């Protein structure tokens, strides 16, 4: 389910109230006069047809009120119109609702996933997104969202099973990165694909786009380092279908909104021994990435020393 038909940048709850108010505003509603006083205007005589609204049936029921011809009256102290009141309520609801609450309208509460490994976790829009991995039954088809409270705490947070809503591709040992608006998940899906694919996911409206670039090898066990400074994510190392570690680096330029496309490019190959299950961390002070550990061919673990640093400006690797 994609919420593509919603144009207003407000949560689902606010959108419902807003739409309801617009529907009700289409009826010519107003309160009757609350006080009567003498008037110099011409007298009203005969019958006045006033339309009354019954919310339980959503219909207009006319009622006739007889007004004596001798009563010279007009309304000098009208109450606020029903339209004004309804529109004010809808506006207050729309303004008070948090955007990050949108997923709860289309998801179901669920316990935390059990026995899962090889999954990805990112935080965006005040929500923790958990995707994919494997269980004892094989590749996990589940996606979860933990909506944090106003203090960005897990104290009052609840797990939400968003699998049917997000329809993200099940992946094992993939990588993920996120901005405030967009999350990407890339890498192996255990399908034996030679080329990498990514899910580009709008974390506010839960729209998904599959990005399938040419010339970028698919692999598992990569490390990812995200730089908010240049809005790029660097995928380092990993292994292909033959379980042989590689020194491949992929640079992902994340879109600032889901209307733009994710861009994947080949980066400068890692100069150390090809490895998998390594770590990569962006360091602003170095304007680059620090790579530690991992496994080389034969599943041999590597020590943290020496470390390798990637200079993002010069696009060069060095050993430290």
Instruction: Please write the tens of the pLDDT for every residue from 218-273.
Output: 999 999 999 999 999 999 999 998 899 999 999 999 998 878 999 999 999 999 99
Instruction: Please write the tens of the pLDDT for every residue from 278-310.
Output: 999 999 999 999 999 999 999 999 999 999 999
Whole-number mean pLDDT of the chain? 76
Q: Is the dihedral of CA 11, 165, 162, 278 positive or negative?
A: negative
User: How far apart, in whole angstroms, are the C-alpha atoms of residue 205 and residue 18?
Assistant: 17
Instruction: Please write the tens of the pLDDT for every residue from 156-209.
Output: 888 899 999 999 999 999 999 999 999 999 999 877 788 999 999 999 999 999
What is the percent of the chain with per-residue pLDDT over 70, rounded to a whole number? 65
Instruction: Please write the tens of the pLDDT for every residue from 12-53.
Output: 444 554 555 555 555 554 444 444 343 344 443 333 333 333
Q: 306 preceded by cis ω (within 30°)?
A: yes
User: How far apart, in whole angstroms, are the C-alpha atoms of residue 17 and residue 20?
Assistant: 5
Please tell me the predicted confidence (pLDDT) of residue 257.
81
Please say if the pLDDT value at position 315 is more than 80. Answer: yes
| Joined tokens for residue 314 | 């010069």
Please tell me the predicted confidence (pLDDT) of residue 84.
56
Backbone angles phi, psi at 184, to 5 degrees: -120, 140
CB distance 174 to 132 below 8 Å: yes
């Amino acid at each position: 389910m994609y919420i593509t038909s919603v144009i207003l940048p407000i949560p689902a709850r606010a959108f419902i109230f807003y739409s309801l108010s617009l529907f009700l505003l289409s009826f010519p509603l107003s309160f009757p006069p609350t006080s009567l006083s003498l008037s110099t205007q011409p007298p009203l005589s005969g019958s006045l047809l006033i339309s009354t609204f019954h919310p339980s049936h959503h219909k207009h029921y006319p009622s006739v009120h007889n007004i004596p011809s001798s009563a010279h009256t007009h309304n000098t102290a009208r109450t606020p119109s029903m339209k004004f009141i309804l529109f004010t309520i809808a506006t207050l609801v729309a303004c008070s609702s948090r955007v990050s609450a949108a997923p709860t309208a289309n998801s179901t509460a669920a316990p935390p996933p059990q026995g899962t490994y090889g999954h990805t976790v990112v935080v965006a829009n005040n929500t923790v997104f958990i995707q994919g991995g494997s269980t004892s039954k094989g590749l996990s088809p589940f996606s979860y969202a933990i909506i944090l409270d106003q203090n960005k705490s897990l104290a009052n947070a609840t797990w939400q099973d968003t699998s049917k809503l997000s329809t993200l591709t099940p992946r094992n040992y993939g990588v993920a990165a996120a901005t405030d608006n967009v999350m990407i998940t890339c890498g192996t899906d255990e399908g034996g694909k030679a080329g990498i694919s990514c899910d580009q996911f709008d974390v506010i409206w839960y729209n998904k786009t599959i990005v399938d670039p040419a010339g970028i090898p698919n692999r598992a066990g990569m490390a990812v380092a995200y730089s908010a400074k240049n809005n790029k994510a660097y995928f380092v190392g990993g292994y292909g279908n033959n379980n042989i570690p590689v020194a491949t680096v992929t640079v992902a330029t994340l879109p600032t909104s889901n209307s733009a496309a994710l861009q994947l490019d080949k980066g400068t190959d890692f100069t150390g021994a090809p490895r998998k299950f390594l770590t990569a961390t962006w360091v602003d002070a170095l304007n680059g990435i620090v790579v530690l550990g991992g496994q080389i061919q034969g599943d041999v673990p590597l020590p943290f020393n020496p470390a390798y640093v990637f200079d993002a400006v010069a696009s060069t690797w060095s050993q430290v």
